[in-house]
Amino acid sequence: MKRRGILAAGIGALAAPGIARAQAAFPDRPVRVIVPFPPGGATDIVARFVAERLQARWRQSVVIENRGGAGTIVGTQAVARAAPDGTTLGFVISAHTVNPSLRRDLPYDTLRDFAHITQVARAHVALLANNDLPARTLREVVELSKRTPGGLSVATPGVGTVMHMIMEMLAAESGANLVHVPYQGGAPAVADVTSGRVALQLDPWHSSRPQVEAGRLRVVATSSADPIPGFEAIPRMNQDYPGVAAYSVIGLVAPAGTPRAIVEQVQQDVHAVVFQPETASRMGEMGVEPVASTPAEFARLVETEIPRWREVVRARGIQPM
C-alpha cells in the first residue's frame, strides 16, 4: 500500500504540469489583433484603444497588426487562415456583411470561417450637404434630386462601404436620383463637397462632426435607427423613410474553431473594458457607441445583415466586382 501510494503520488506529480497547462488562464501567450486598414483610421484607433486596455487586463502583450487592402478582405482573410487557438483576433466593419454580395471571389465564407465574438461598437453615419444646396431637409434633398438633371452627386469612402450601401438604400426607398462618387479618403471628399463640386456626402458622424461644427458642411440627417447621444435634434432618415436605418459596425472575430470558452472570455473582457467610464467617455467623444454584444447576438446580426445588403445590391442593380 505504501509503495502504491508513493507511485500514485509520483504519477500525480508528473501529470500536474500537463493539467496546469490545460487549465491555464487565457491568454498565456501574446495575442495579435489584425486590423484590415492602414494605421490612423477610426477603426484602427478604436482597435488600439481596446487592445491597450485588454493588454492591461490580461497582463499579456496584445499587438495590433495592420493589414489593409481589397475593401478589408486582405486582413479578414488573414484571420480566417490563422490557427484557432485564441492568439489571433481580427476587427471587422460593416464591409464584412456587404462583401458577400459585392465580391465574386471572396476567399472565405463569412458565416462559416469565423467565430463572431462581439460587436464592439457602432458609429452613426451622417448625410452632409454643401452649405449652398437649397434643400434643407431629407425630403427636400430627395425631391431636388428628382428635379436635377443627372441627379445629385454623393461622396462616400468607396464602393462597398456601408456609406455607399446607405446611399443605395435611401435611393431604393425614396426614389431619389443619387449618383455615387467614391473616394479613397475623407479629406478629398470633404474638399469637393465644401467647394460645391459634389452636392452631398455620407460619412461617419465622428469624422464629419468637426466639419459641421466649423460650419463647412451642413448635416441633413443620420442613418441611425436611434438618435445620436447628445445630438438628439439631428433628424434621422427613418423618420421620413422607415426602411432606411443602418450603422457603421465595428466587430471582433476569431478563426472558426476557436474554443467557445475563449470566445466567451474575450467577449466578457471586451465588455468590461469598453464600458469602463473612461473608455466609454473617450469613445463617445469619437462619436462611437460601445456595444459589446454577446457572440450569439453578433452572429445573428451578421446573419441578418448579409441578406439585407444583398437585397439592396439586387434592387439597385449593382454589379459584383
Domain span holding position 78: 30-122+247-316
The domain tally of the chain equals 2
Cell of 39: 494605421
Point out the domain boundary residue: 240, 272, 297: 240
- pLDDT per residue over 114-151, tens digit each? 999 999 999 999 999 999 999 999 999 999 999 999 99
Q: What is the CATH number of the domain that holds 236?
A: 3.40.190.10
**Domain assignment present for 179:** yes
In this model, does residue 186 exceed pLDDT 80? no
HSE of 125, CA atoms in CB hemisphere, 13 A: 27
- pLDDT per residue over 204-239, tens digit each? 998 888 999 999 999 999 999 999 888 999 999 999
Helix, strand, coil percentages, rounded to 5, for the chain: 45, 20, 35
Q: What is the CATH number of the domain that holds 291?
A: 3.40.190.150
**Domain assignment present for 5:** no
Percent share of the chain, pLDDT over 90: 77
In this model, does residue 201 exceed pLDDT 90? yes
HSE of 134, CA atoms in CB hemisphere, 13 A: 5
Place of cell 509520483: 10
**Domain assignment present for 18:** no
Highest mean pLDDT among 23-27, 72-76, 184-188, 287-291: 72-76
Rounded Cα distance, 221 and 19, in Å: 57
Q: What CA–CA distances, in Å, run from 216 to 41, 81, 244? A: 21, 44, 26
The reply to whether 233 and 312 lie within a common domain is no
